[in-house]
């Protein structure tokens, strides 16, 4: 048996004793080294479901890295003791969408959950297509950033983002900050639009050259556009808030001929009213980016391995797995102004591992 988090309902996350997984043919079992909290997991916790990734009464969590402790028959390339990061999905590479270069939309996209546990089973397809070995010295918690960063890398690539362009990023939660940081490392001039006072400094720390705090201006759209070259609007606008209002703002912040990536996923049934005249005569491109692919996972992993990515700065807390329900309850409640919210919390299975995790973070800061 092992300790694991199981989602039983809306805001009903329980720590239970469940059977320890065993490796079938082509599979791996990992001892979890570190798992990370995630905005998607928070949405699932709040809603009790995910449209594609997770239903109730399932093991929970998907950003993870660990050590191989069991290797299934037929596995090639991995052995006991290897330190690896398994992505949370893998495509079939045979369906219509995979054949058309849209692996993220695979008709049989295989998801895996269970990061908040002592051990996790990695299905054969993910072992074969989307599991990466950690370089020596990389902490587990840094490697676990690969999955959310892969989504961001794909979002920027699908947006045609390139050095020298101006990008506006709406939102400074974990995903918004990943967009800000990655875009800045790519050489874009990033303007962040944020809500909280503490997010101003945080956005700047991750690479935003200019920041608009909504409460400080009469018109956030006009304020953000005013910071772009000649006030024409941004080449690329990334919406990372997941509200109808933010979608509307994003469209109005883009320059003529610009692109808007509606990255945030509002709740099912949400509708948005958009200015059709503006979209048509401005020749805007509106798109959305969902998930990642094996290729963007590898490019994200290269960013993390490069030493340029501020991995340590994204990890603002740690907790044992038994504390996870309280961690998610805290995540639902925004702290008062002046108290910086946590970006990502490192979850470790056992108390004796916690000091190791924290030491590793400090050593590689």
- In tens, the pLDDT along 66-112 reads 999 999 999 999 999 999 999 999 999 999 999 999 999 999 999 99
Q: Could you say which architecture CATH assigns to the domain 2-147+292-363? A: Alpha-Beta Complex (3.90)
- Domain map (residue ranges) of the chain: 2-147+292-363, 160-287
Write down the mean pLDDT value for the chain: 93
CA distances from 273 to 117, 248, 270 (A): 42, 7, 10
Q: Where are the alpha helices (DSSP H) in 161-309?
A: 174-185, 198-205, 220-226, 244-253, 276-281, 294-306
Residue 164 gets which letter from DSSP? T
Q: Does domain 160-287 have CATH number 3.40.50.720?
A: yes
Instruction: Report the pLDDT averaged over residues 29-34.
Output: 98
Q: Tell me the average pLDDT across 5-14.
A: 92
Q: Above 50 in pLDDT, residue 362?
A: no
* Both structure tokens of 268: 């099912």
In sequence order, the 6+-apart residues with CB closer than 8 A to the CB of 30 are 64, 66, 67, 68, 69, 84, 86, 119, 120, 122
Reduce the DSSP state of residue 13 to 3 states and report it. Answer: strand
The 10s digit of each residue's pLDDT in 298-331 is 999 999 999 999 999 999 999 999 999 999 999 9
* pTM (2 d.p.): 0.94
């Amino acid at each position: 048996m092992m300790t694991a988090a199981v989602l039983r309902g809306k805001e009903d996350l329980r720590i239970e004793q469940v059977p320890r997984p065993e490796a079938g043919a082509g599979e791996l079992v990992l001892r979890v080294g570190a798992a990370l909290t995630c905005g998607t997991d928070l949405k699932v916790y709040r809603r009790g479901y995910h449209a594609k990734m997770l239903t109730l009464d399932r093991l929970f969590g998907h950003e993870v890295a660990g050590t191989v402790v069991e290797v299934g028959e037929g596995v090639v390339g991995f052995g006991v003791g290897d330190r690896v990061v398994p992505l949370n999905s893998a495509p079939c590479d045979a369906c219509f969408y995979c054949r058309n270069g849209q692996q993220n939309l695979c008709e049989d996209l295989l998801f895996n959950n269970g990061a908040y546990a002592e051990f996790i089973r990695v299905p054969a397809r993910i072992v074969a297509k989307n599991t990466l070995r950690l370089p020596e010295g990389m902490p587990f918690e840094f490697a676990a950033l690969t999955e959310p960063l892969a989504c961001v890398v794909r979002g920027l690539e699908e947006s045609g983002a390139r050095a020298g362009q101006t990008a506006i990023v709406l939102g400074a939660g974990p995903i918004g900050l990943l967009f800000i940081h990655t875009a800045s490392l790519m050489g874009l001039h990033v303007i962040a639009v944020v809500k909280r006072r503490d997010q101003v400094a945080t956005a700047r720390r991750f690479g935003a050259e200019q920041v608009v705090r909504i409460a400080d201006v009469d018109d956030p759209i006009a304020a953000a556009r005013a910071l772009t070259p000649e006030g024409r609007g941004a080449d690329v606008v990334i919406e990372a808030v997941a509200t109808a209002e933010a979608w509307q703002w994003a469209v109005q912040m883009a320059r003529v001929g610009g692109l808007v990536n509606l990255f945030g996923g509002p709740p099912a049934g949400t509708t948005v009213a958009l200015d059709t005249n503006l979209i048509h005569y401005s020749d805007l491109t509106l798109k959305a980016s969902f998930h990642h692919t094996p290729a963007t996972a590898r490019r994200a992993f290269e960013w993390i391995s490069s030493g340029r990515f501020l991995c340590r700065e994204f990890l603002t807390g740690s907790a044992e797995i038994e504390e996870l329900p309280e961690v998610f309850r805290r995540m639902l409640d925004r702290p008062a102004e002046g108290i910086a919210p946590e970006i990502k919390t490192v979850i470790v299975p056992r108390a004796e591992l916690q000091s190791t995790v924290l030491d590793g973070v400090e050593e590689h800061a």
